[in-house]
């Protein structure tokens, strides 16, 4: 992993896996703003966890920042959540087969 470098604060998108209050697994996408130094120290994860707690989600958390996640993850979660990916092009995803 390379050290982040930018001036001022910038948005960082983070996909988190967590649990709902009902005990069901969930994917959640949050965007928080941090400086490069804050990002290097993992502050984005504390900010994301605060947002998750406020929204009623529970641990365990696993976080995937956009620049460290597999390339497919953020577009797939955006599609799953009904959001357009950052480039505004829908991602073609075949529906899951019912078992």
pLDDT tens digits, one per residue of 64-86: 999 999 999 999 999 889 886 55
Torsion over CA: 17, 50, 64, 81 (sign): positive
Torsion over CA: 56, 60, 63, 69 (sign): negative
- What pairs with residue 27 in β-bridges? 17
Torsion over CA: 82, 44, 18, 51 (sign): negative
The residue-averaged pLDDT of 41-50 equals 97
**pLDDT at residue 99, as a whole number:** 46
The residue-averaged pLDDT of 48-60 equals 97
**pLDDT at residue 71, as a whole number:** 92
pTM of the model: 0.79
Is the predicted pLDDT of residue 97 greater than 70, yes or no? Answer: no
**pLDDT at residue 60, as a whole number:** 96
């Amino acid at each position: 992993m390379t050290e982040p470098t930018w001036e001022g604060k910038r948005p960082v998108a983070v996909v988190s896996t967590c649990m709902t209050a009902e005990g069901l697994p969930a994917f959640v996408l949050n965007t928080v703003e941090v400086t490069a130094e804050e990002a290097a120290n993992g502050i984005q994860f504390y900010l994301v966890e605060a947002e998750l707690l406020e929204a009623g989600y529970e641990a365990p958390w696993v976080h995937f920042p956009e620049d460290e996640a597999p390339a497919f993850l953020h577009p797939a979660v955006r599609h799953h959540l009904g959001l357009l990916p950052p480039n505004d092009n829908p991602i073609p995803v075949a529906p899951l087969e019912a078992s």
